[in-house]
Amino acid sequence: MKNNAFSTLAEQGFGILPEVFSPEFLDHAMSEISRLAPHRGRAGVRHALALQPVAKIAACPQMAAFTREVLGPCAFPFRATLFEKTSAANWLVVWHQDTALPLSDRQELRGWGPWSVKEGITYAHAPASALEQVLALRIHFDDSTQENGPLRILPGTHNRGVLSDDEIHELSTATVPVDCVVSKGGIVAMRPLVVHSSSKSRNEIPRRVLHIEYAASESIADPLRLAIA
Mean pLDDT by 10-residue block, N- to C-terminus, for the chain (229 residues)?
80 96 97 86 83 96 95 97 75 91 95 94 97 98 87 97 98 96 96 93 82 96 95
Closest to 16 (Cα-Cα) out of 132, 104, 139, 196? 139
pLDDT at 203: 75
Distance CA 147, CA 20 (A): 23
Could you give the CA distance from residue 193 to residue 175 in angstroms, rounded to a whole number? 15
Angle, vertex CA 97, rays to CA 177 and CA 197, nearest 5: 40
- Spatial CA neighbour of 157 closest among 197, 187, 111: 197
Identify the helix (H) or strand (E) that includes residue 85.
strand 76-85
pLDDT at position 29 is 97
State the burial class of residue 132 (Cβ atoms within 10 Å of its Cβ: 0-12, 13-18, 19+): middle
Its pTM surpasses 0.85: yes
pLDDT of residue 2: 61
Residue 106 contacts residue 115 (beta carbons within 8 Å): yes
Query: Ramachandran region of residue 149, left (φ > 0), alpha (ψ -120 to 50) or beta?
Result: left
Q: What is the pLDDT of residues 1-51, one digit of tens each?
A: 466 888 899 999 999 999 999 999 999 999 999 999 877 666 679 899 999
Closest to 59 measured CA to CA, from 70, 69, 67, 71: 67
Instruction: Please state the domain extents for the chain.
Output: 2-215
The residues facing 44 across adjacent strands are 83
Sheet strands (E) in 104-144: 115-118, 121-125, 134-140
With beta carbons less than 8 A apart as the criterion, state whether 42 and 81 touch. no
DSSP class of residue 49 equals: G
Q: Residue 92: what pLDDT?
A: 75
Q: Which CATH superfamily is domain 2-215 in?
A: q2cbj1_9rhob like domain (2.60.120.620)
The answer to whether the beta carbons of residues 14 and 191 sit under 8 Å apart is: yes
pLDDT value at residue 86: 66
Report residue 96: phi and psi, to 5°.
Answer: -165, 175
